[in-house]
Structure 1
Amino acid sequence: METILNPWPWYVSGPLIALIMALLLYFGKTFGMSSNLRTMCSAFGADKFSDFFKFDWKAQKWNLTVVLGAIVGGFIAVNFLSNETPTDLNSKTINELQAMGFETPGATLVPSELYNLEALSSVPGLLILIIGGLLVGFGTRYAGGCTSGHAITGLSSLQRPSLIAVIGFFIGGLVMTNFILPLIF
């Protein structure tokens, strides 16, 4: 059985996130992947297709360094800074996932039944990709930001709308995990 590479412990990642947030707040910037991706889409010409992308992206080009940093940082973390300790999943969780058709829950970081090229050719895989992508995109736009923006930036600056959004994200995740995903699989 292949082992899962766990994330860094809270006492390493937490202070690093706090340090980044303090620097962003000091320089008057906010963090959120949806604003970074909006900048990237605008830079690549999406403003020709949608008014949402019509803004001065050059004034926010620093967002592109965040996207690049997320990609490079993710590569470095997985390939050079991860540990070999396997994730200890609850036996009830393993049984529930196996009952839904997941062959080896916990054997990989993400389930191969959802995250591989073959999943794209299945009806459940396409449903999750298309409907889920539309809902995430709509929700991000409607909530005025994504999970990272609201949960990290919004909560750290004590914004009530971010607290409401984060509560909604958790409720949506619980509904998806406990009610919708079992219907699909």
Structure 2
Amino acid sequence: MEYILQPWPWYISGPLIALVMLLLVYFGKTFGMSSNLRTLCSIAGGGKYSEFFRFDWKAQRWNLVVVIGALIGGYLASNFLSDHSVIDLNPATVADLKALGFEDAGAALVPAEIYDWGELLTVKGLLILIGAGILVGFGTRYAGGCTSGHAITGLSNLQLPSLIAVIGFFIGGLLMVHVLYPLIFS
């Protein structure tokens, strides 16, 4: 019998996320990916150049396991737990993306027009990559955390600043898709 791989349903993955959050709250920890970048910069000696990186990074070592787990889990899911089928995009979305120049919209998980090395190593690709990195870095620092930290940990702890940040993330995402993408890729 052939086993067809499927994504985990919400009623399995949702409670698993809730269980992880309960364990983090129980042990007095908070979850977020952007804090790992601060930890890695501190390990690499960033504290010599900026006060922001002068902290006890050893207390955050446990969170680096999250990054390692995300990398290993992503590799395992992509190479062993995926049927490599393409995503089922709405035909209107495919048409909109093709109008913006994304030729293989719906045929691949990520568009080659953005993520292909040939595209990244162009002047436009490098400007987009550097600009996006600056905006994400600034936004993460200004918001006091990343989308995963605010949306998962902050909202689970009923923190108002996290709710405001998540609303801001959604508004920023909508502006990016509906205003900036057409300007950049048309």
**Normalised by the size of structure 2, how large is the TM-score?**
0.91
Q: Which residue of 2 aligns with 1:174?
A: 174
Q: Which amino acid aligns with 1:138?
A: F
Task: List 4+ stretches of structure 1 deviating above 3 A.
Answer: 5-8, 83-86
Partner SS for 1:183 = helix
- When residues 116 and 49 of structure 1 are mapped into structure 2, their CA distance, relative to the original with a 3 A threshold, is farther
Match of 2:111?
Answer: 111
Q: Residues 66-85 of structure 1 correspond to what in structure 2 (within 5 A)?
A: 66-85=66-85
Match of 1:155 in 2: 155
What is the CA–CA distance in structure 2 between the aligned matches of 1:121 and 1:133, rounded to whole Å? 15
Deviation at 1:84, TM superposition (A): 4.7
Which structure has more relative contact order (CA 8 Å, sep 6+)? It is 1
Aligned to 1:137: 137
Q: Deviations 1:103-155 (Å, cap 9, x if unpaired)?
A: 11121111111012111233432232111110110000000000000000000
How many residues are matched? Answer: 181
**8 Å contact kept, 1:6–1:87:** no
2:69 corresponds to which letter in structure 1? G
Conserved? CA contact 2:87–2:108, under 8 Å:
no
Unaligned segments of structure 2, at least 5 residues: none
* SS of match in other structure, 2:25: helix
- Shift in alpha-carbon separation, 1:25–1:173, aligned structure 2, 3 A: same
- The answer to whether the 8 Å contact 2:86/2:109 transfers is no
CA deviation digits over 1:1-58, x for unaligned, max 9?
xxxx975332222122111111111110000001122112211222222221110101
Runs of at least 5 residues in structure 1 that lack an aligned partner in the other structure = none
Q: Is the 8 A contact 1:124 1:184 kept in 2?
A: no
Percentage of pairs with the same residue: 69
Query: What CA RMSD, in Å, does the superposition of the two structures yield over aligned residues?
Result: 1.6
Rounded Cα–Cα distance in structure 1 between residues aligned with 2:68 and 2:82? 20
